[in-house]
């Protein structure tokens, strides 16, 4: 037939501009879309060939071919799939957002076919991603028993139809690449792009190259398969070796070591998807080199890689988990690069989180040494879930381990073991956060609890003081920081408070930044201690934040004094003898200074402390 020019249906100029400039954030996806369409075309002819073998033309060597011509600046993607008739070309390529795949599935459903192929395309716009890299696109296609058709467009509002001399069934798409897209003519770029997006497609993707034979100097065409087709997550677990799992883990994680644990399962029922997840043995290289807070699972739809940037597929506190999720039902947007908010997505996320936490719990029970190594590497990240995942807060708490006053340095206990071993009558889980064990295991805050034989958890991970208050309680037992809030029984101190009443008021007026000076029973050996309120930040955390250049608001604390300590008795006696005695003021300030140091904070005036100490030493 003579060449015929036709107008696109819809406002193509504006819509095509949107597709090629706004719809996709990465132009490399054009190759993903064209390969996916080719894969669909093969699946369609195989499916329809079940009822009409003549459609297959005796062909069974299914493949998608890519050829780059450096001189002509063309990239050709070919398939031996179902092809299109003239009417189908007009309908599928001449109407933006008309999805041939979607129409095909609808037709198959009407016919009552139950074994539909799972096809990739859903929106009918993927083909037009070609114009992100090409300023001229030619499609030559032939369906069984139909004349071959050539379609051509520069994406400016119209397309032409003419006869084609294509002989065999299938479709060839020729992209005349823009100068700025010349990189897609390079073999390395083609290989890496196919590897990224289409490595696990069911059908082979082959690269056609022309090489000159060194001996005969005759040019020969070579065909090399550049995708692996090994979608390991689609195979039965019983068929996969430990070595194959490890190899795949290294492929998706870029880790050199084997995974600590593998999670491979198919979710069926209300939601259906396949997941192959890995828990690393140690921090992978990419986690050590950056602080990306997002979880990066590779999302596939029917073996086609979509993205690993979906931060709503897995919560950030599980970002150490690597692997793939493959589902044909996820609600992607038209460009397939954004997951829409959808109840199905919430169910998938909940399913993944539950399975990962269950696996970690099993590891803790069955292989404690392996779990200890995991905990050493990833517990800080896992603890973030205490303040972000309320639904799984206690499951996360079950996985945490801490040092304790009841064990030697380096040995750890869990919340459940702590609760089981609590002293008679104890109603709270006691803990003390600090910079390291050495700095807190002999802290004055622990004196009363050691005397009573009560175990105190020692929280030495910097994140502990931020997230543990979010936990609030565990199995009905409230968490209590021993350096915050009130621990005293007022009846025990009635007589002492009468004796010290005047001095306590004097001390409060003397000391800046102290909202109250009171007596305490929490101390046995030390003279004084600084105590914050229940919701205050620990002094060592405040100091750490100051070192990082963070503004830390000033807050007033409570100075608690041990009425049985010789120094406290001496200062009180000096005050009683002469309220204006400067030595009483100096010793009171020194009591406050030593309490600040013992808390883990820094003195505001180290020089003043030294001067006061020297004055006392001189006598």
In a domain, 443, yes or no: yes
Q: Is 513 left (phi over 0), alpha (psi -120 to 50) or beta?
A: left
Residue 515: inside a domain, yes or no? Answer: yes
In a domain, 393, yes or no: no
Per-residue pLDDT at 568 exceeds 90: yes
CB 562 within 8 A of CB 527: yes
Q: Quickly state the pLDDT bin for 23 (edges 50, 70, 90).
A: low
* CATH code (residue 565): 1.20.120.790
pLDDT of residue 1: 67
| Pairing state between β 134-142 and 149-153 | antiparallel
Residue 239: pLDDT band with limits 50, 70, 90: very high
Mean pLDDT of 153-170: 89
- Model confidence at 21: pLDDT above 90: no
48-62, pLDDT tens digit by residue? Answer: 888 888 888 777 789
Residue 143 scores a pLDDT above 60? yes
| Residue that wins the pLDDT comparison between 126 and 520 | 520
| pLDDT value of position 106 | 66
Confidence at residue 541, expressed as pLDDT on a 0 to 100 scale? 67
DSSP class of residue 493? G
Average of per-residue pLDDT values in the chain? 85
Domain assignment of residue 315, yes or no: yes
Same structural domain for residues 9 and 100? yes
Q: Among 193, 225, 257, which residue terminates a domain?
A: 225
420 shares a domain with 523: no
pLDDT score at 117: 55
Q: Is the pLDDT of residue 172 over 80?
A: yes
What is the per-residue pLDDT across 80-100, written as a single tens digit (0 to 9) for each?
Answer: 999 999 999 988 887 665 555
The residue segments making up the domain with residue 591 are 490-618
- Of the chain, the percentage scoring pLDDT greater than 90 comes to 47
Q: Which of 225, 260, 283 is the last residue in one of the domains?
A: 225
Q: Does residue 21 belong to any structural domain of this protein? A: yes
Higher pLDDT, 569 or 2: 569
Whichever domain contains 461, its CATH number is 3.40.50.11260
CATH number at residue 32: 3.30.565.10
Checking if the pLDDT of 419 tops 90, the result is yes
| Rounded (5°) CA angle 48-53-55 | 65
3-state SS of 340-401 is CCCHHHHHHHHHHHHHHHHHHHHHHHHCHHHHHHHHHHHHHHHHHHHHCCCCCHHHHHCCCE
Strand duo 219-225 + 273-280: pairing: unpaired
pLDDT at position 416 over 90: yes
Of 340, 358, 376, the residue at which a domain comes to its end is 358
Query: What pLDDT band is residue 18 in, cutting at 50, 70 and 90?
Result: low
Q: What is the model's pLDDT at position 486?
A: 78
What's the rounded mean pLDDT across residues 327-350?
70
Rounded alpha-carbon distances, angstroms, from residue 315 to 49, 250, 311, 356: 44, 22, 7, 11
Split into its structural domains, the chain has a count of 4
pLDDT the model gives residue 184: 96
- Domain CATH for 246: 3.30.230.80
| pLDDT of 188 above 60 | yes
Please indicate, yes or no, if residue 113 is contained in any of the structural domains.
Answer: yes
User: Are 218 and 293 part of one and the same domain?
Assistant: no
If asked whether residues 179 and 107 sit together in one domain, one would say yes
Q: Are residues 79 and 100 in the same domain?
A: yes
- Are both 129 and 242 inside the same structural domain? no
Q: Does residue 529 contact residue 560 with C-beta atoms inside 8 Å?
A: yes
Verify that 463 and 544 share a domain, yes or no: no
Single out the residue of 77, 74, 193 nearest to residue 134, CA to CA.
74
Do 473 and 504 lie in one domain? The reply is: no
Name the least confident of 19-23, 27-31, 252-256, 449-453. 19-23
Residue-wise pLDDT for 278-303, tens only, equals 999 988 766 655 667 777 888 888 78
- Distance, in Å, from the CA atom of 325 to the CA atom of 488, rounded to the nearest integer, reads 54
Within this chain, do residues 180 and 153 fall inside the same structural domain, yes or no?
Answer: yes
User: Do 82 and 159 belong together in one domain?
Assistant: yes
Beta strands in 24-70 (DSSP E): 64-69
Domain assignment present for residue 364? The answer is no
Range list of H helices, 430-547: 437-440, 447-451, 464-471, 494-510, 539-547
Q: Note whether residue 390 is domain-resident.
A: no
Show Cβ contacts of residue 162 under 8 Å, excluding neighbours closer than 6 positions. Answer: 1, 2, 3, 4, 149, 150, 152
- 142 pLDDT more than 50: yes
Q: Does residue 346 have a pLDDT over 80? A: yes
Please check whether residues 298 and 323 belong to one and the same domain: yes
User: Does the pLDDT at position 390 exceed 60?
Assistant: yes
Average pLDDT score over residue span 528-550: 72
Pick the more confident residue, 185 or 543.
Answer: 185
Q: Same domain, yes or no, for 330 and 412?
A: no
| Residue given tokens 């071993």 in the structure block | 421
Confidence label for 123 from pLDDT (cuts 50, 70 and 90): very low
């Amino acid at each position: 037939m003579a060449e015929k020019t036709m107008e696109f249906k819809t406002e193509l100029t504006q819509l095509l501009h949107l597709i090629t400039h706004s719809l996709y954030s990465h132009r490399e996806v054009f190759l993903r879309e064209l390969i996916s369409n080719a894969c669909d075309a093969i699946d369609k002819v195989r499916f329809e060939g079940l009822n009409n073998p003549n459609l297959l033309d005796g062909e069974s060597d299914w493949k998608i071919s890519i050829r780059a011509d450096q001189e002509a600046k063309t990239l050709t993607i070919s398939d031996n799939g179902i092809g299109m008739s003239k009417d189908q070309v007009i309908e599928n390529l001449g109407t933006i957002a008309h999805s041939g795949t979607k129409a095909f599935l609808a037709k198959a459903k009407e016919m009552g076919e139950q074994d539909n192929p799972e096809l990739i395309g859903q929106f009918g716009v993927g083909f037009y991603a070609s114009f992100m890299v090409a300023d001229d696109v030619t499609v030559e296609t032939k369906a069984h028993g139909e004349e071959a058709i050539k379609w051509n467009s520069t994406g400016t509002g119209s397309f032409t139809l003419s006869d084609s001399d294509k002989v065999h069934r299938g479709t060839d798409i020729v992209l005349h690449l823009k100068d700025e897209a010349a990189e897609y003519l390079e073999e390395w770029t083609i290989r890496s792009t196919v590897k990224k997006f289409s490595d696990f497609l069911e059908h082979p993707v082959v690269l056609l190259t022309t090489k000159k034979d060194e001996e005969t100097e005759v040019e020969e065409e070579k065909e090399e398969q550049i995708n692996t087709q090994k979608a390991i997550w689609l195979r039965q677990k019983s068929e996969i070796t430990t070595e194959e799992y490890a190899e795949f883990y290294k492929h998706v994680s870029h880790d050199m070591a084997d995974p600590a644990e593998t999670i491979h399962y198919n979710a069926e029922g209300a939601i259906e998807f396949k997941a192959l997840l890995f828990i690393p043995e140690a921090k992978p290289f990419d986690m050590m080199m950056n602080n990306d807070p997002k979880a990066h699972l590779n999302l596939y739809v029917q073996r086609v890689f979509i993205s690993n940037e979906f931060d709503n597929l897995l919560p950030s506190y599980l970002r150490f988990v690597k692997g793939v999720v493959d589902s044909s039902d996820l609600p992607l947007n038209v460009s397939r690069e954004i997951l829409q908010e959808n109840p199905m997505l919430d169910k998938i996320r909940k399913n993944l989180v539950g399975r990962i936490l269950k696996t970690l719990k099993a590891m803790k029970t069955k292989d404690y040494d392996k779990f200890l190594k995991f905990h050493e590497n990833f517990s800080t990240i896992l603890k973030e879930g205490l303040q972000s995942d309320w639904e799984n807060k206690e499951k996360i708490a079950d996985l945490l381990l801490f040092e304790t006053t009841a064990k030697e340095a380096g040995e750890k206990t869990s919340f459940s073991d702590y609760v089981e071993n609590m002293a008679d009558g104890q109603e709270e889980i006691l803990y003390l956060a600090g910079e390291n064990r050495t700095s807190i295991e002999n802290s004055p805050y622990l004196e009363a609890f050691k005397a009573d034989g009560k175990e105190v958890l020692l929280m030495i991970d910097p994140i502990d003081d931020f997230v543990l208050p979010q936990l609030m309680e565990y199995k009905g037992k409230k968490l209590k920081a021993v350096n915050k809030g009130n621990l005293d029984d007022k009846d025990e101190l009635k007589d002492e408070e009468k004796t010290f009443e005047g001095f306590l008021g004097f001390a409060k007026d003397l000391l800046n930044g102290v909202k109250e000076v009171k007596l305490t029973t929490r101390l046995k050996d030390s003279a004084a201690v600084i105590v914050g309120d229940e919701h205050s930040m620990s002094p060592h955390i405040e100091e750490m934040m100051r070192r990082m250049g963070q503004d830390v608001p000033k807050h007033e604390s409570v100075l608690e004094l041990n009425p049985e300590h010789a120094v406290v008795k001496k200062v009180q006696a000096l005050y009683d003898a002469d309220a204006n005695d400067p030595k009483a003021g100096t010793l009171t300030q020194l009591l406050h200074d030593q309490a600040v140091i013992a808390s883990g904070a820094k003195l505001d005036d180290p020089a003043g402390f030294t001067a006061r100490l020297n004055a006392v030493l001189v006598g």
